[in-house]
């Protein structure tokens, strides 16, 4: 459960999830991706491609935070970003998601619309 000072009244809390805030959660390399995308877009990046700058880098797999909240991602000393993940999906400035109804397996299906971009 969220601490009381972060909770809204009622059963749900509208809360921003972001990895570009140095106080709460900062992902090294997030600014690279923001420069390549538009506000409100959803973009998939192939991180292990032949010419990918993330193949031999820890960017996008090293985090820092000043105020501890949530978990940190840290690449191991002998590993790079592409050793951990092949693709990254960046969703910029979306509204919050409503929880799925439970009890019916079909209610948990998610469909992407044609606004999905590839890079």
Report the C-alpha dihedral over residues 59, 65, 71, 72, rounded to 10 degrees.
Answer: 30
pLDDT tens digits along 24-44: 788 889 999 999 999 999 999
Residue pair 20/27 in contact by the 8 Å Cβ criterion: yes
Q: What is the pLDDT of residues 10-21, one digit of tens each?
A: 877 777 777 888
What percent of the chain has pLDDT above 70?
80
pTM: 0.65
Residue found under tokens 């990046």: 45
> Which pLDDT score, from 0 to 100, does residue 36 have?
93
Q: 74 by DSSP, 3-state: which?
A: strand
């Amino acid at each position: 459960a969220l601490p009381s000072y972060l909770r809204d009244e009622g059963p749900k809390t509208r809360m921003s999830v972001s990895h570009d805030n140095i106080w709460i959660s900062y992902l090294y390399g997030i600014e690279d991706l923001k420069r390549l995308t538009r506000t409100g877009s959803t973009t998939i990046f192939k991180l292990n491609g032949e010419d990918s700058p993330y193949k031999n880098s820890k960017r996008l797999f090293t985090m820092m935070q000043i105020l501890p909240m949530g978990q940190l991602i840290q690449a191991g000393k002998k590993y790079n970003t592409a050793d951990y993940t092949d693709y990254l999906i960046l969703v910029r400035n979306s509204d919050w998601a409503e929880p799925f109804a439970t009890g019916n397996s079909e209610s948990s299906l998610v469909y992407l619309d044609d606004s999905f971009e590839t890079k």
